[in-house]
Amino acid sequence: METNKLLTLSSKKSLICFSIEKSISLKYFGFKVKSLLKTNNNVSPHPFDHSLLSQFGNVDYFLPSVLILASDSSFAGSFIFDHYEETNGFTSLSPLPSSRNKGKGYSFFFVDKHIEASITINVSIFNDADGFAISTSVTNLSKNPFIIKRLASVNLDLNGTSPTLYSFDGSWAHEKNLHTTVVNGGRLEIDSDTGSSSNFHNPFTIIRNNDTYYGFNLIYSGNHKTSVEVNDYDHIRIETGINDFLFSYKLKPGETFFAPEALIEVADSIDYLSSSFHKLINSHIIPERFEKRIPPILFNSWEGVYFDFNQEKLLKMAKEAKDLGAELFVVDDGWFGHRNDDSSSLGDWVDNPLKTGGLKDLADKVRSLGLQFGIWMEPEMISEDSDLFKKHPEYAMRIPNREPNRQRNQLMLDLTNDEVVKFIIDSVSNVLDLSKASYLKWDYNRNFSDVYSSSFNSFEYGYRYIVNLYKIMDVLTKKYPSVLFEGCASGGARFDLGILSFFPQIWCSDNTDPLSRLFIQTGSLIGYPAKVMCCHVSKPINDVTKRKSRLLDRFQIALMGNLGYELDPTKLSNQDRKDIKQEIGFYKGFRKFSFFADSYLLGDCYNSNISGDMLINSSKSKAFLIVALTGSYRGYLKIRGLNPKFSYQVNHHGKAYLGSYLMDKGIFINQSISKLKKDYTCQIMTFCYELERIKGE
């Protein structure tokens, strides 16, 4: 093996460097520098051999990235670096999804001769975007099985003190609120143990160390954990991967276990880090066939009629939606089995003609109006009041001889059962074949409980469930490549890169109140592009918050993402009908710009009463600002991302301003929202600015 060598991977603005001597260590990870030999290492010195992985049993007592229970019941690991190989366009053999179209990379191989196991760590760059992809796997080379107790996807050691963790936390209807926590000592963990990536803690995190921002996200939809650990010797360890709570995996001889792939960004600002993640997700995560496809404007039946509908009512809604400019009409929950509320029929994915008038006939009539047809399903769930449960009670996730825990009057299907996997694929296929739907909303309305398997250790359940979920999604999206699948999980409880690897968009939250959505969407936009974030305009009085809001505010907040409507268009006033028609007309032109623009957050909704989002094209010649006030405001709003030398006209008239002035000083705003108090309980006011570079300048 060649020693005393530096291996580097360089993206547009960042650099990662590995030093190979007797072993391998991470020498540098950060911004590009002219000479690695002259710069101080930004990674932490170690009293152990290498920093790409860490293990229990030597003088390293930080959280280990790998922990294996050997066949002799010992825990001490002794993985030694063996060799490396250069890669280009690395493709993983993992059953989990991974980023596509990778560039140059390295595979590093470690061997433990006592356990008789190997670990492979793959690091790759992307030729057209900043960021790095890292994946880790363990192979059993022995004749005996061993137990993987912990395997982090990323182990990163840095120099520094008091790093700040940016996490995106919340709950149902309050997803992805940004929180910042300074870690002065000890260990801080952000994790999910719900069986999904969860609405409590999104797997996307940012760590600020001095003036450098490190962004981490997992391509995984199950239980995850990110930890930041700090000691008094300026040593920081960051790990991210599968949550080791309720996890262990029995690896048989000759088998390989794959941890989820992680994406890492390094930047000098939240703005650049956010923009880099947007480009990575658009170009390397969402299905390639959707990369440049603009999604249709949909009207969803749910908040308009809930379970109370028939074909006549749905067709009236569809006709009105078409007249307003919609392109897709979606029939939500209640079309199947004998479902008139949420207590029955999940699993019975057969048409209820008393409500649909015949699903095929309904879909054909919707299409005859000039609309696409879409439908809702919740394929991973089962109702006890269903024909499926009566015939196959063993399909449900539950513990024998115990009363199951019910959430939303339903149980989960056991996706670790191969018969259930086939059932779901067949059920979804039957619905799509019958309806010829071009869109399917895939819902998931409860969390794990009653985890049990008679065929393997229940600690493997969460991982096996997610592997089979991806298998189902892979089969169906390949079988129906033109169908637009939208992920949903009680809103944003499974808003992650794993879902986006198969479904190019996700329902952001069940809460469509514009004030609530301002916070939810702001947190989402830091890590995820607008195109994947579904934002709907709903009824004046919100079902979750009970607040009343203006149609204008609901629409302009929805402009921050992928626009849709969730109301009954037959009940609109003449003025609302006129306004929505104008909104949709505007949006059809706007989306051609917005989905391919860079995004910059404005103000700070968490600490002030002015905030918003700015979209700007790659040439810096055109920008669009969505500004939101949660209180009266008099002052300047600084703009970001402009070319400082260009002159910009605001709203196509009036005085022109240099980009440098708008970024240093800003646009003067003098607005009061006191007038809203008379008629509206949702205290938010939104307005928009367009910036255009002066032609001929």
Q: Each residue of 330-380: pLDDT tens digit?
A: 999 999 999 999 999 999 999 999 999 999 999 999 999 999 999 999 999
Residue 677's CATH number: 2.60.40.1180
Of 275, 307, 332, the one marking the end of a domain is 275
Range of the domain at 19: 5-275
**How far is 428 from 434, CA to CA, in rounded Å?**
10
Of the pLDDT bands very low, low, confident and very high (cuts 50, 70, 90), residue 286 is: very high
Q: Per-residue pLDDT for 132 more than 70?
A: yes
Residue 61's CATH number: 2.70.98.60
The pLDDT of residue 646 is: 96
Same domain for 360 and 252: no
Reference 106, options 213, 2, 243, 235; nearest CA is 2
Higher pLDDT, 618 or 653: 618
Of the pLDDT bands very low, low, confident and very high (cuts 50, 70, 90), residue 45 is: low
| Phi, psi at 443, each rounded to 5° | -100, 165
Same domain for 399 and 260: no
Domain membership of residue 303 (yes or no) is no
Torsion angle of the four alpha carbons 125, 126, 131, 134, in this order, in degrees rounded to the nearest 10: -50
Domain membership of residue 406 (yes or no) is yes
Domain membership of residue 467 (yes or no) is yes
Tokens of 227: 């930890």
CB atoms within 10 A of CB 653: 6
Reference 295, options 529, 484, 477, 441; nearest CA is 484
Q: Per-residue pLDDT for 50 more than 60?
A: no
The pLDDT of residue 2 is: 61
Same domain for 358 and 236: no
Higher pLDDT, 430 or 22: 430
Reference 382, options 439, 444, 441; nearest CA is 444
pLDDT tens digit sequence for 545-593 = 999 999 999 999 999 999 999 999 999 999 999 999 999 999 999 999 9
Same domain for 352 and 257: no
Tokens of 495: 């808003």
pLDDT tens digit sequence for 491-502 = 999 999 999 999
Same domain for 122 and 200: yes
Cβ atoms of residues 447 and 194 within 8 Å: yes
Q: Which amino acid is at 525?
A: L
Q: Which residue numbers are catalytic?
A: 443, 510
Q: Which amino acid is at 365?
A: K
The pLDDT of residue 1 is: 56
Of 438, 464, 489, the one marking the end of a domain is 489
Same domain for 222 and 142: yes
Q: Per-residue pLDDT for 98 more than 80?
A: yes
Lowest mean pLDDT: which of 513-527, 535-549, 675-689?
Answer: 675-689
Cβ atoms of residues 205 and 168 within 8 Å: yes
Q: Per-residue pLDDT for 40 more than 80?
A: no
- pTM assigned to the model: 0.96
Q: What percent of the chain clears pLDDT 70, i.e. is strictly above it?
A: 96
Q: Per-residue pLDDT for 169 more than 50?
A: yes
Strand, coil or helix: what is 631? coil
Residue 450's CATH number: 3.20.20.70
Same domain for 348 and 267: no
Of the pLDDT bands very low, low, confident and very high (cuts 50, 70, 90), residue 233 is: confident
The number of angstroms, rounded, from the C-alpha of 189 to the middle of its chain's C-alpha atoms is: 19
Of the pLDDT bands very low, low, confident and very high (cuts 50, 70, 90), residue 483 is: very high
Domain membership of residue 419 (yes or no) is yes
Helices (H) and strands (E) in the chain, counts: 13, 37
The pLDDT of residue 47 is: 44
DSSP string, 62-111: SPPSEEEE-TTS------EEEEEEEEES-----SS---SS--EEEEEEEE
Cβ atoms of residues 650 and 625 within 8 Å: no
| Phi, psi at 411, each rounded to 5° | -110, 170
Of the pLDDT bands very low, low, confident and very high (cuts 50, 70, 90), residue 236 is: very high
Of the pLDDT bands very low, low, confident and very high (cuts 50, 70, 90), residue 618 is: very high
- State the total domains in the chain: 3
The pLDDT of residue 39 is: 45
> Rounded mean pLDDT of 81-93?
94
Same domain for 263 and 342: no
Of the pLDDT bands very low, low, confident and very high (cuts 50, 70, 90), residue 42 is: low
Higher pLDDT, 12 or 137: 137
Same domain for 400 and 346: yes
In the Cβ-directed half-sphere of 84, how many Cα atoms lie within 13 Å?
A: 25
Tokens of 246: 């309720």
Domain membership of residue 265 (yes or no) is yes
Domain membership of residue 402 (yes or no) is yes
Please report where in the chains the tokens 């490549």 appear, as a residue: 481
Same domain for 184 and 65: yes
Domain membership of residue 480 (yes or no) is yes
Domain membership of residue 87 (yes or no) is yes
The pLDDT of residue 171 is: 97
Same domain for 117 and 11: yes
Mean pLDDT of the chain: 94
Same domain for 21 and 112: yes
| Phi, psi at 35, each rounded to 5° | -145, 120
The pLDDT of residue 455 is: 83
pLDDT tens digit sequence for 141-165 = 999 999 999 999 999 999 889 999 9
pLDDT tens digit sequence for 516-539 = 999 999 999 999 999 999 999 999
- Rounded to the nearest 5 percent, the helix, strand and coil shares of the chain are 25, 35, 45
CB atoms within 10 A of CB 585: 12
Of 489, 511, 533, the one marking the end of a domain is 489
